[in-house]
Chain A
Amino acid sequence: METLKLSALPEKDKQQPISHGRFEAYVDNGGTVMAVAGKDYCVIAGDTRMSDGGYGIQTRKYTKVFQLTKKCVLATSGMQADTIALQKRLKSMLESFEKEHGKPMSTPAIAQFLSNTLYYKRFFPYYTFNLVAGVDEQGEGWIWTYDAVGSHERVKYSSQGSGNQLVIPLLDNQVAKFNQQIVEGNKDVSCEQVVSFVKDSITSAGERDIYTGDFADIVVVDKNGVHWEKFELKLD
């Protein structure tokens, strides 16, 4: 005869440990950033949507572009917590530098400094995909693009983030003039034209990428300083 066993859990679960799942340190809050350099200016754009990694929106107003000095900005996509930690760290170090050296850090120096800062955490990286854009001491436009651990390259244009794969081919074709059937040839582009083009690009990214949208910060850096503009994207 079977004995009646009273137990809270079914028997076979008593043998196995309850699996909780690993602690996940990273989350991708999405969003796209991009930058295009002209001769003596840079145009940077970053959307302002923050997602929860899935279909939810956590805020529509999270700015991904951060001003470092009067001549340099940092645009970051990826994980918001790591982005903010990185921005705070850089800001603190830049202020220290300015007091010690009596002048702000130059844009190329900042580019190298960011790379070092990222590599410092090579074995527990900042989940950030960065663009540094600005003008150097002579007023020439510079852009660097980074991976999460600090590998960087100076380029004329770049994009990072969830909409990266949509924006980069467009920039390749229109800015670098690659793969054009009818080659237009190089012609001088004004800052307003580049701003208009960047607005089109980020709008297009917003159409196809669910993590990009809401608003975009369009930032122009030239020898006169940093100018911000808010641009509306779709809210869907």
Chain B
Amino acid sequence: MYRNQYDSDITTFSPSGRIHQIEYAMEAVKQGGAAVALKSKQYAVLVSLKRSSSELGSYQKKIFVVDDHVGIAISGLTADARMLCNFMRNECSNYNYVYESQIRVERLVTKVADKHQVHTQRYGRRPYGVGLLVAGFDQLGAHIYQTCPSGNFYDYKSISIGSRSQSAKTYLEKHFESFEECTLEQLITHGLRALRETIPNTDDTLNSKNVSIGIVGEGQPFKIIEEADAQPYLNLLENEEPVEMQTN
């Protein structure tokens, strides 16, 4: 992207009707580590690739619990993501306090999108440089949403964001019609295969250190599967062997 005359302020439109600052914010999302989201009738699954700054460092957390029925995967500026995560947790907690029930996923995502929008229209405040994949389960079933720094949000059957996500999207487009009837293990396996497409050939493959899985669904509160717990699912990729699923 080349520099434009009309891109230094969030409050300035370009002659072609675009706000370049928002588009630059969305670039930050595209640079982040890949994340994949997909859903069946009863479950929504998030799978993400964790990055570490060096061999000495730990891997950056990518999936967060928001409430029993909602979790998010992030791509972009992690610090911004933390703020949004806390905001979402507070909103869920407040809603539960007032209405004694869980907030519907679309309603929560709308609040996040509105928060993004405020930062696209006020001088002196930059947009959040992070995109979220929201996985949730409520009375209307399983949901996958994507939020953007622009303030838009999208309802998806499955989606991928972040670095080299186009390869994952290609995989998802080939297989998404079968997701509706998949079991949880099959769904996670699809997610891992899609995620594998995003790794450049020169890098490590998927391993228990750099993969993070989040699941939520009917009777399944949002849970993060990482490190040693993720190994059985990674083995599924290699061996195509069934694994005993822990239910709670």
- Chain A residues in contact with chain B, CB under 8 A? 88, 92, 95-96, 99
Within the complex, the shortest CB–CB distance from B44 to chain A, in Å, comes to: 19
Given A96-B89, A99-B89, is A88 in contact with B65 using a C-beta cutoff of 8 Å? Answer: no
B97 touches A96 (CB 8 A): no
- Encoded as 1 (CB less than 8 Å from any A CB) or 0, chain B from 77 to 91 comes to 000000000000100
- Contacts A88-B97, A92-B93 known; 7 new A-B pairs at CB < 8 A: A92-B96, A92-B97, A95-B93, A96-B89, A96-B93, A99-B65, A99-B89
Chain B, interface SS category = helix
Alpha-carbon distance A95/B97, docked complex (angstroms): 11
Size category of the B interface is under 10
For B66, give the chain A residue with the smallest CB separation: A99
A99: chain B residues within 8 A (beta carbon)? 65, 89
Within the complex, the shortest CB–CB distance from A218 to chain B, in Å, comes to: 27
For B92, give the chain A residue with the smallest CB separation: A95
A96: chain B residues within 8 A (beta carbon)? 89, 93
Which B79-129 residues have a C-beta within 8 angstroms of A?
A: 89, 93, 96-97
Alpha-carbon distance A95/B67, docked complex (angstroms): 9
Within the complex, the shortest CB–CB distance from A101 to chain B, in Å, comes to: 12
- Encoded as 1 (CB less than 8 Å from any A CB) or 0, chain B from 53 to 80 comes to 0000000000001000000000000000
B96: chain A residues within 8 A (beta carbon)? 92
For B93, give the chain A residue with the smallest CB separation: A92
For A102, give the chain B residue with the smallest CB separation: B65
Within the complex, the shortest CB–CB distance from B68 to chain A, in Å, comes to: 9
For A88, give the chain B residue with the smallest CB separation: B97
Alpha-carbon distance A112/B97, docked complex (angstroms): 22
Alpha-carbon distance A95/B93, docked complex (angstroms): 8
B93: chain A residues within 8 A (beta carbon)? 92, 95-96
